Structure 1
């Protein structure tokens, strides 16, 4: 029997996935959570074979949970199931050694098949993610977004950044939000580190 744990903050989807997966004769969902911290705590207690993780969740993201499980040297394999096909998220998932990364619009049969393949030792990534990673432009940020991020490097406040780049504070916040989303970053410092690592700053 394959024991799964499901971390998904959308209640209806959580219930639907649990129902679908429990219909399989060799799969059982041993627990579920709507936030990453609860999921991590319960995964550590229950030791499921596979943890199916959404990315965007309260408290901890699915990628944070995957990172922690890697650090724990947990035997639980991480399978990211998300709507986000962003290369930055995929790169973080690769760094966390996830066993799978699938998109939510994939058929449920694909998910079940992927679970079996992961249990057999395979690593499963949605083809469009791999393609997107290698065809995406090197730097996803616009010139203006880079200016805003660069101005934030020394810990400047939103008001200070606005003065430096001659924009309103609201516009600066919008640009920064776009930067965080494109890079899959948690905060400004994370975004700056990602940009510097890739030599965009």
Structure 2
């Protein structure tokens, strides 16, 4: 990841004339780096070690509202786009974007606008809202990670029956045949 980040910094500084004021290797250090460096725009990946980019975007919005965020990711799921925008991201671009498209998106976001990959924006418009409650999504996410009902119940301080009911409700809301199908649907749409 260091090589990729260094290459991105070089392209932004050299070819595109954008000042890079800081870099971070993981989600948790982004918050400290942004506080220290005061960037106009934080370019984040969703898939970062520690805190993911969507969580970081939400925290930056709350703690440093002057710092706008642009997601630069390989994850082309409309549900993730919606989650990122809901968390406060002002842009969402795929890593297949050209350097010029990235520079344009950064400048747009810095100027107070929104920059979203057009294909994903179109798909996202057709996407239904997340039907899961936060707790249902949390229980489904833990189940997707391999946790059983008893383990989830212990982690979330719930009864095993409540966990099973939440999983069953999630399966029904997603019109899935099985829990495995529900996890697949929720992951594909970026709901967990």
Residue from 2, 22, 28 that aligns with 1:31: 22
How far did residue 70 of structure 1 move? 1.3
TM-score when normalising by structure 1: 0.66
Which sections of structure 2, spanning at least 5 residues, go unmatched? 132-138, 144-148, 150-160, 169-177
RCO higher in 1 or 2 (8 Å CA, sep ≥ 6)? 2
- 1:154, 1:179 → 2: CA distance? 22
Residue from 154, 157, 171 that aligns with 2:162: 154
How far did residue 28 of structure 1 move? 1.6
- 1:138, 1:50 → 2: CA distance? 28
- 2:17, 2:96 → 1: CA distance? 23
TM-score when normalising by structure 2: 0.69
How far did residue 101 of structure 1 move? 0.7
Residue from 158, 174, 182 that aligns with 2:188: 182
Residue from 3, 6, 13 that aligns with 1:22: 13
Three-state SS of the structure 1 residue aligned to 2:51 is coil
Q: Which residue of structure 1 lines up, in the alignment, with residue 134 of structure 2? A: none
2:44/2:69 contact within 8 Å kept: yes
Aligned residues: 158
Aligned-residue Cα RMSD (Å) equals: 3.2
Which sections of structure 1, spanning at least 5 residues, go unmatched? 1-9, 141-147, 162-170, 186-190, 192-201
Report the structure, 1 or 2, having the larger strand content: 1
2:85/2:91 contact within 8 Å kept: no
**1:64 and 2:55 aligned:** yes
Report the structure, 1 or 2, having the larger helix content: 2
How far did residue 71 of structure 1 move? 1.4
Three-state SS of the structure 2 residue aligned to 1:30 is coil
2:12/2:20 contact within 8 Å kept: yes
Q: Which residue of structure 2 lines up, in the alignment, with residue 166 of structure 1? A: none
